Structure 1
Amino acid sequence: MREVTGEAELRELIGEPTARVAGKVRRELDALDRAWLAATPFLLMATSAADGSCDVSPKGDPAGFTLVLDERTIAVPERPGNRRADGFRNILGNPHVGLIFVIPGRGDTLRINGRARLVREADFFDRMTVEGHRPPLAVLVDIDEVFYHCSKAFLRSALWNPERWQPDAAPSRARIAQGQERQDQDLAELEVYYGPGYGQDLYS
């Protein structure tokens, strides 16, 4: 195994970005970015703790759930989940976050990097209410960088091509749960729990 140990060696392998690619990073949202965020129902939020350990957390809601407060600030609401709060705990120790905003069927993505704060109350919380659920907190992100990422990863993976989907290629969620965190529960019981009715109480 030969390890890459410096940027010069890295550039020897992958080359330099074009001037257009290197210069596409902006510091403020424009009208195109706002339209993308209004159409986005899903994002990935990457955080890192003070010790460098990392986490990536998916966030999803109806399209437009990421609230644009101004050209340098966005807010992401919290919804009921597993309450691990890995990313939130990271933000308390290290505010730097990276977000990728995904629109189903689109290969390109919007990326925003910035510094985050956890907010438990603000006048904009009412605007983030969904199905009667007002978020208990939100991640407020002060934007440092915003840019679009090309679709090559999505094209290589054929992510949006239903003919390439194989949802049964990996063990079911019920089998994974029974083999790991719910070993004391019967598989048949877990298959019912994770069956068609799962997720009917997303906002309760």
Structure 2
Amino acid sequence: MKDNFQISDIETLERLYGKPAEASIKKEIAYVHPHYQRFIEASPFAVIATSGPEGLDVSPRGDQIGFVQVENEKTLLLPDRRGNNRIDSLRNIISDPRVAVIFFVPGIGETLRVNGKAEILIDPALLHRFSVDGKVPRSVLRIHVESVFFQCSRAVMRSRLWEADQHIDRSALPSLGTILSDLTMGELDGKQYDKELPDRLKTTMY
């Protein structure tokens, strides 16, 4: 039975929300403007969304400030550092190159959104450009930019994301070891996982 309170057509949706402000349209461009480049170069953290045959994926990417390089106004380079080797995002890109990336800058309310198509590169010279402490990334994403625009600060302001009094102690949430132990009915040793995790993160950062 159809839910009378469900919106299922664009016309109804547009009537509910009304027309976007002119600035919301004008801010979107098809290249990386120098102003937008400054946001990217100041960002140590981004989230990338992909889609593929097995579904959607959204994955965090973080590194030193400016870890994503603006190769030119139509191209970004994003190194893929060590992780859990699930490579969900990369699997998706192989079959569907479309990506959406949102960049965060600590202390700044506005974020920057980039949509485009990505390819996975393993050229040794390119990998070397992103070397940290002599360690290169497994691959680099070359993102061909199709649209770029800023997102206003309302979401960050409402969440008070950067405000210290919003931060909670890690002990307030279950540890990763506890989660793994419970999910696997004790098959994985959660206490051992938690014990080894701090050193593992330090030694496998890059």
Q: TM-score, normalization: structure 2?
A: 0.90
Q: Count how many residue pairs are aligned between Structure 1 and Structure 2.
A: 202
Indicate if the aligned counterparts of 2:178 and 2:191 stay in contact, CA closer than 8 A: no
List gaps (5 residues or longer) in structure 2. none
Q: How does 1:119-198 map to 2 (within 5 A)?
A: 119-121=121-123, 123-167=125-169, 168-180=171-183, 183-194=186-197, 196-198=198-200
Q: How does 1:1-204 map to 2 (within 5 A)?
A: 1=3, 2-50=5-53, 53-121=55-123, 123-167=125-169, 168-180=171-183, 183-194=186-197, 196-204=198-206
Indicate if the aligned counterparts of 2:177 and 2:190 stay in contact, CA closer than 8 A: yes
- Per-residue CA shift, 1:43-71, capped at 9, x if unaligned? 100001146x2100111111111011111
Amino acid at match of 2:22: A
Higher helix share: 2
Amino acid at match of 1:27: A
Distance (whole Å) between structure 2 residues aligned to residue 87 and residue 181 of structure 1:
25
- Per-residue CA shift, 1:158-182, capped at 9, x if unaligned? 1111212234443222211222258
Amino acid at match of 1:81: G
- Per-residue CA shift, 1:120-176, capped at 9, x if unaligned? 116433221112111221111000001110111111111111212234443222211
Amino acid at match of 2:128: D
Q: TM-score, normalization: structure 1?
A: 0.91
Amino acid at match of 1:117: E
Distance (whole Å) between structure 2 residues aligned to residue 193 and residue 26 of structure 1:
46
CA-atom RMSD, angstroms?
A: 1.9
Distance (whole Å) between structure 2 residues aligned to residue 111 and residue 151 of structure 1:
13
Amino acid at match of 2:196: Y
Distance (whole Å) between structure 1 residues aligned to residue 124 and residue 178 of structure 2:
41
SS at match of 1:199: helix
Distance (whole Å) between structure 1 residues aligned to residue 78 and residue 38 of structure 2:
16
Distance (whole Å) between structure 2 residues aligned to residue 24 and residue 106 of structure 1:
18
List gaps (5 residues or longer) in structure 1. none
SS at match of 2:90: helix
